[in-house]
Structure 1
């Protein structure tokens, strides 16, 4: 296949293209366009689009789009699994090797900053947590609440406790289960990590930054389109599995509010409003996270990025 190599960062060969951005910024369409022009392969870099149960509510590429170019790591994980960043890195390494073997340009696209950071900077090597430890911590979380667990965490891992909001259920539980399972602070584990998959000087990394008002309007419209396309039925099927509410798939934007609607706690419009608002807030956090954590990404408008694709492919 026609791989695209010349003209990467600092004039060196480009090993991969990284397309990040807030939700609903047009990342998937840009990646598809670039893959068609270069014979590339699109690799999902979004923590929610890995789940097979959530095609509509996470705005995964459609089957027709996936048929146009090779797509990897979309919908390959069951919603009952906690797909950690470490699991994703292992899968991404295999997808990257496939692209290299086939001489295809790997195009990583998504909105999960930690995944992009793992690609170019590596990842902490926290070992798997035994299920009995995780179940015990979650039972205590349900019984006593996040703030009570935060008090215990402060005694076991004061550094982690100081960084975390005492009401942050997910992160407090995670930090506590790590220290209880391993005897080491999460901070300590972060010092010894997995090496990066890609050298940062050999990737072309861009961040799509639409005008905020237009982006928020697009987010709102897309949520309505998701509902029209069957998102509620998708969430209904997920809710009927009675999975742990702390699982990532159960916290995808729009899922908790739609589950509450299905329970009769909210009207559909109330649930949709919550889903839209949560998604807008998430987009705002994505802007902030990438600005501070991955400043090497070149910020561009979606329109400028499309021009770049036309001009750069196939000679990146």
Structure 2
């Protein structure tokens, strides 16, 4: 019996607004593949426009997985995404897989491995969130240092989300999140034939695309999305509530700023996010194939 051919997967990373979804669609149609979301915010329901999730028309005829699959009241961790992605990989058989998104940690899970942290109950996350609420950066740093010194030493910036996650894991499992990170890791795509791509558009072109795209989002229903999200009365520390565009439009709806300022602030925040993404990709994906879209 001949050797079974390797399964194939394409990994498409890049900053926001770089054209990743369009490239993924072209490849999926050409190869008969399935597209798997590799973006931490596009997993959430409600925010289709603001997270630049592919539209229903774009997804028609091409299988898309893990898009809009999670209610915004959920704190969907990297470990939970990894388990969901593993299930998709198993279910799709030998079909070509196309992973596309802008979340660097998810690509680490796919090609390098991840710490398999047990699922943390919502109650533990809520308790941790209540402890962190209202604390400034220094106070969060003191809190995590007192509870989990090992994890504290790894947090370059004790932002609320990371501190909440670390405290919740400690409470739910009795172990530091750092101890899970130190355990042997297995890449989800171990044994696959991989094509790794990073889209690298011209900086000024990207800046212009970000501005045009957010203006189109705003005109196309982003305000209504934020109204629907706010109507759920969710914890403001949840990832979905902090998606770029949500705080800015929420402030506009509250009468704190006008439309022009809301758009300007969201565009600036998006450009800053794209800059952070580029830094991550340069540091962690230097050996990938960098292409101009």
Give TM-score scaled by structure 2 length: 0.91
Task: Give the count of matched residue pairs.
Answer: 289
- Greater alpha carbon shift after TM alignment, 149-158 vs 116-125: 149-158
- Alpha-carbon separation, structure 1, partners of 2:118 and 2:185: 11
In structure 2, what is the equivalent of residue 241 of structure 1?
A: 232
Contact 2:40 2:103 in 1 (8 A): yes
CA, structure 1 residues 64+130, in 2 after alignment: closer, same or farther (shift >3 Å)? Answer: closer
In structure 2, what is the equivalent of residue 226 of structure 1?
A: 217
- Alpha-carbon separation, structure 2, partners of 1:97 and 1:142: 39
CA, structure 1 residues 297+200, in 2 after alignment: closer, same or farther (shift >3 Å)? Answer: farther
Report how far residue 144 of structure 1 moved: 4.3
Contact 2:6 2:191 in 1 (8 A): no
1:45-100 Cα shifts (integer Å, max 9, x gaps): 11111112111111111111111311111111111111111121122122222332
CA, structure 1 residues 212+200, in 2 after alignment: closer, same or farther (shift >3 Å)? Answer: farther
- Alpha-carbon separation, structure 2, partners of 1:260 and 1:141: 23
Matched, 1:258 2:254: no
Instruction: Specify every segment of 5 or more residues in structure 2 that has no aligned partner in the other structure, as ranges.
Output: none
The 5 A counterparts of 1:195-234 are: 195-199=186-190, 202-234=193-225
CA, structure 1 residues 301+184, in 2 after alignment: closer, same or farther (shift >3 Å)? Answer: same
The 5 A counterparts of 1:138-287 are: 138-164=129-155, 168-192=159-183, 195-199=186-190, 202-287=193-278
Q: Give 1 or 2: higher helix fraction.
A: 1
CA, structure 1 residues 145+128, in 2 after alignment: closer, same or farther (shift >3 Å)? Answer: farther
Question: What is the Cα-based RMSD across aligned positions, in Å?
Answer: 2.0
In structure 1, what is the equivalent of residue 43 of structure 2?
A: 50
Give TM-score scaled by structure 1 length: 0.85
- Alpha-carbon separation, structure 2, partners of 1:185 and 1:117: 21
- Greater alpha carbon shift after TM alignment, 260-269 vs 49-58: 260-269
1:251-301 Cα shifts (integer Å, max 9, x gaps): 111111111211222212211111111111111111111121233321111
